[in-house]
Structure 1
Amino acid sequence: MTQVDRPLFTDEAGQRDAAWVQAALAGEAVAFERLVDLYQRPAVGSAYRLLGNRDDAQDIVQEAFLRAYRSLDRLKEPSRFGPWLMRIVCNLSLNARRSRGTRATVTLDEKQGTDDRSSEFGERTGGPLRPEQVASGKELQEAIDAALETLPEKQRLSLVLFTIEGWAQKDIADMLECSIENVKWNVFQARRRLRVQLGNLLPG
């Protein structure tokens, strides 16, 4: 079962997070540690997909948790801790990409989630590719990365989180504070715009 089938931001999760947030605000350090344990993996995964570097992703997530902890008393809806944190992660990742010149790895494949030959961080774990595959694949990926930079933020995030991270549409909608229909539209528009820009580089 993919993450698409198991939304991260459920009502039950919101109630649990709210209790831990309130406990953390009351001085129970272990409560925030539980939130870190829960969201560390998806946060690092999303940051990695936007940055393309594991160390950078882990640094971004550490900074995101630090900012979340310092601003915890300003979170108006404790039940929305998950979407709130992930938005911090994504915004920090986008800022880091712009300042460091890094690019995300994204595909226009209609399949959701990662390649079944990829590891947790998206690194290929199968056998070596042939030289001609490396050359053509690198050219296409560089073109996709460049085109991705031209997309509006919500389209870019919707596409990356839905098609690469395998996020549920409801989770993306919660994070971006929009409707599920808007998420679907953002993904559709992002794919359409990238295909128009890439033209003949895409396989037939």
Structure 2
Amino acid sequence: MSKKAATDSPVEDDAKAAAEDIAAIERTLAGEMSAFDELIERYQRRAVAVAYRLLGNIDDAQEVCQESFLRAYRSLSGLQERGRFGPWLMRIVSNQSLNFRRGRRPMLSLHGDDDESGDSQAASIKSRGEEGDSLEASELQGAIAAAIESLPDPQRLALVLFAIEEMPQKDVAEILECSVEMVKWNVFQARKTLKEKLKSFLEE
């Protein structure tokens, strides 16, 4: 690791990422299509992860993300804060996912390799279920899915973006178009609801 890389702060990293986004956007608007491909490559993993958490189906998530990137491209010239492309894109992905979900109402699944980086309570419950037999694990997965499915959209989104995707609260607030305090409240209420609904598993 270079000395510069070792001393870069998160603020410097954010500033560098914002500068790269701005440059890519300007090149895209100038007609360089490969520049938008760079933005897709940079944000595709997170976009698909967010959509998957909200929809529970990888094919649906990829379809939503494809539409979201298309919408972002068409609206790119209207983006005033070009250094905030990431949160702006996640807002599009979130809205598209919710619209898709309202139309088809798929069941959310929490099964995935990146559960450990998400909400510790849900991950802990999941790991306990995997220690039991397959029937118990299946029952647990169903309980988790049903509990998160029952959350109001703002709480579900806040939980997914902040607790599972580990996005900064200010970015989540921007995506949800609310205050940071409201993000905190939604996450708190979501966790409270999950704890209550999954109480029988937590007590085992």
Structure 2 runs not aligned, ≥5 long: 1-8, 120-125
State TM-score, norm by structure 1.
Answer: 0.74
Secondary structure, counterpart of 2:117 in structure 1: coil
Q: 2:20 aligned to 16, 32, 51, which one?
A: 16
- Give me the whole-angstrom Cα distance separating, in 2, the residues matched to 1:183 and 1:18: 27
| 3-state SS of 2:40 partner | helix
Contact 1:97 1:103 in 2 (8 A): no
Deviates more, 1:155-164 or 1:58-67: 155-164
In the superposition, the TM-score normalised over structure 2's length comes to 0.74
Structure 1: gaps spanning 5 or more residues: 116-123
What RMSD in Å do the two structures reach over aligned CA positions? 3.1
Offset at 1:89?
Answer: 1.1
User: What is the letter of the counterpart of residue 75 of structure 1?
Assistant: L
Match of 1:32 in 2: 36
What is the CA deviation profile of residues 142-168 of structure 1, one whole-angstrom value per residue up to 9, with x for unaligned ones?
Answer: 233233233232211111223322333
Q: Secondary structure at the match of 2:202?
A: coil
Identity of aligned residues (%): 52
Q: Indicate the residue corresponding to 1:119 in structure 2.
A: none
Bigger RCO (CA 8 Å, 6+ sep): 1
Contact 1:154 1:176 (8 Å CA) reproduced: yes
Match of 2:54 among 46, 50, 53: 50
**Large movers: runs of 4+ above 4 Å:** none
Q: Residue 101 of structure 2 aligns to a residue in which SS?
A: helix
Displacement of 1:57: 1.6
Which amino acid in structure 2 is aligned with residue 34 of structure 1? E
Contact 1:112 1:163 (C-alpha < 8 Å) held by counterparts: no
> When the two structures are aligned, how many residues end up with a matched partner?
183
